[in-house]
Amino acid sequence: MPSMNDAALLTPGDYADAVATAVRAAAAYYTDGATPLGDDEYDALLRAVAAYEEAHPGEVLPDSPTGKVAGGAVGGDVPHSVPMLSLDNVFSAEELADWAAGLERRLGRPVAAWCVEPKLDGLAVAARYRAGRLERLITRGDGLAGEDISHAADAVLGLPAALAEPVDVELRGEVLLTREQFEHANEVRTAHGAVPFANPRNGAAGTLRAKDRPYRIELTFFGYGAVGLDEGLTHSALLERLAALGANTAATTAARPARCATLEEARQRIDEIAALRAELPFGIDGVVVKADAAADRQEAGSGSRAPRWAVARKLAAEHKVTRLLDVEWNVGRTGIIAPRAVLEPVVIDGVTVTYATLHNPADITRRGLMLGDRVFVYRAGDVIPRVEAPLVEERTGEERPIVFPEACPRCGDAIDTGEQRWRCARGRNCQAVASVIYAAGRDQLDIEGLGGTRAVQLVESGLVADVADLFSLTREQLLGLERMGDTSTDNLLAAIETARTQPLNRVFCALGVRGTGRTMSRRIAAHFGSMAAIRAADAETLALVDGIGPEKARVVVAELAELAPLLDRLAARGVGTAVSAPQAPAVPGPAGGGPAEERAAEEGAAEEGAAEEGAAQAGPLAGEAVVVTGSMTGVLAALSRNEMNELIERAGGKASSSVSKRTTLLVAGEKAGSKRAKAEELGIRIVTPDDFAVLVADHLPEG
């Protein structure tokens, strides 16, 4: 296919090839959701074709996708009562302003108001109701006729079988797989021996058309229009009417539609929705701007392909197609052997992506990946890119199987393949340097001066094999190392001594137990109150901790058993022996772990600390679920996000990273963004950093 970077470069032969490619891509995209092109590539291709046709109007091919609904996709055998049109696209604020000015010139007056809503990345459908009951569900097809998919209607959430009123109406909207539904769909498919869906749109299209499957996959409907309701309604009021009838709309999400009095307000809402993109539970590929007033829409009318009163402001694609060049096998700090895809560089949402996660060997097998495959790559916001699925129909026969390692890529030892995530038989001992660096990190033991270079030096010199060895280092040993003078040695020893007294949650986090992190370490420490109680707990007891559950609890118990010698040595050096009052009594499981003296000392200290439990529960944040977002100011500016979470829990609250219906308080700093918008939508109490500092003043760290 010729380059589409400059439409003027198209020759007549290039133009014919571009038309053929666009027609094939549109047919695939609008029927089964599969396409050899990413969104950006397809858009660029259409623009190049349109530019050539504008310059050579006498050479337009009859099968050109320009001016056709859904790019000329194949229709169906059920005629639409009113054509289901596509939308024209704009790709910048300047193009949006030009489009709006053109609409106002056509009207001969300013547009009364705009309605701005997310452009959902799914399949357009029409749902016909008679006397309020769903009779038929139809795809858009070629805009004039679509395919009957009524057999799939009962699996579409948000599309009621009966409306709240017995009206004759045709609801129009988008059916899609949310991110959660997409992940679940692929789990179900692979469990039944089927190939995973390449992307959510492909999954939605395939699911709507499938019949007689031995499994069920749920989808979600979002309404955006209707035929048969009061034609005098503004578009904003129409959306409210759809919701009142019982249909799901985007008003239930953070990207809810908004009525904007001016185009500048509309541009601001576009930016807000674009900023929310990574946090939305579904994919969007743009934001739709519509004339809100019925009179404006009626007077503007529609062309053969699209209405003149609405346009899609397209966003940079989150999905791209590129080639899988290689797979690297990296060993993590706990010995996990993780595959990483090496990709032909591709720009996704403004970021050049050359690597992507592949999760584990079982995931590679499920997805049926091969070296040389053309693959879909996905990236949302700051999320690590991942390979979704190969384009099997694009294979040439030159693709090669991915070779799995037979020995640990780092140390050459055996590999434990007993779980989906493979692990070096030596476990975390395979990556002593990485384990030490992690344990010394700011949010763990916070040992200043122990960075990567120093950790490598300590491990390679034989002085340190694990984190416990740090607490046995002597001044003489450190002075014997290169580039270690009196000052740097004394500073490092002082930092290590300070780390010896770190609270239980930080010591536990420093262990790097699989399935836990900073938040979970705080919950475990708060629940049990001592390392002895944590080690004594069985899987059933650990599963009582909020957010762990039975499966993760078994992993934690196994990890702690493996770490028993390290924990004994840490306890002997006075690390991790501090005790705090547990939030709930820890029910001991089988006895074990650690010296008897340590357990006795900690149990005694726990009795002493029990008196503090009531005070913790009665703190200023008791019963509060708190989320922190944006940049902190004032006395909170010096605290890391982990330290903020620790502050919340010292004050009796529960820290969380995401806003939900369970959230009761949001601390909103500068540039709070989408979390503040969602909190406002849910009616959650919002405070400034300064107000929050006053609220928890008695629990702020000293200094």
Cα angle: 10, vertex 12, 13; to 5 degrees: 90
β-pairing verdict for 665-668 and 685-687:
parallel
Active site residue 119: yes
What DSSP element (H or E) covers 348? strand 337-348
Helix (H, G, I), strand (E, B) or coil at 636: helix
**Catalytic hit among 68, 119, 661, 675:** 119
Q: Which of 172, 83, 85 is nearest to 128 (CA)?
A: 172
Is-contact 32 393, C-beta < 8 A? no
DSSP-derived letter for residue 403 is P
DSSP-derived letter for residue 588 is -
DSSP-derived letter for residue 150 is G
Helix (H, G, I), strand (E, B) or coil at 578: coil
Q: In the block, which residue shows the tokens 């591709």? A: 346
Task: Report the greatest alpha carbon distance in the chain.
Answer: 93
Per the DSSP assignment, residues forming a β-bridge with 310 are 290
Q: Determine how many CB atoms are found less than 10 A away from the CB of residue 269.
A: 22
Is-contact 579 504, C-beta < 8 A? yes
Classify 375 in phi/psi space as left (phi over 0), alpha (psi -120 to 50) or beta. Answer: beta
DSSP-derived letter for residue 631 is B
124 token code pair: 């357009």
Reduced 3-state DSSP string for 445-474? CCCCCCCHHHHHHHHHCCCCCCHHHHCCCC
CB-based contacts of 447: which residues, under 8 Å, 6+ apart?
440, 470, 492, 495, 496, 498, 499
Q: How far apart are CA 543 and CA 553, in angstroms?
A: 5
Identify the sign of the CA torsion 694, 700, 702, 703: negative
DSSP-derived letter for residue 684 is -
242-247 long-range contacts, Cβ below 8 Å, gap at least 24?
242/171, 244/164, 245/160, 245/163, 245/164, 245/165, 245/167, 245/169, 245/171, 246/160, 246/162, 246/163, 246/164, 247/158, 247/159, 247/160, 247/163, 247/171, 247/173, 247/221, 247/223
421 token code pair: 């995530």
- Which are the catalytic amino acids? 119
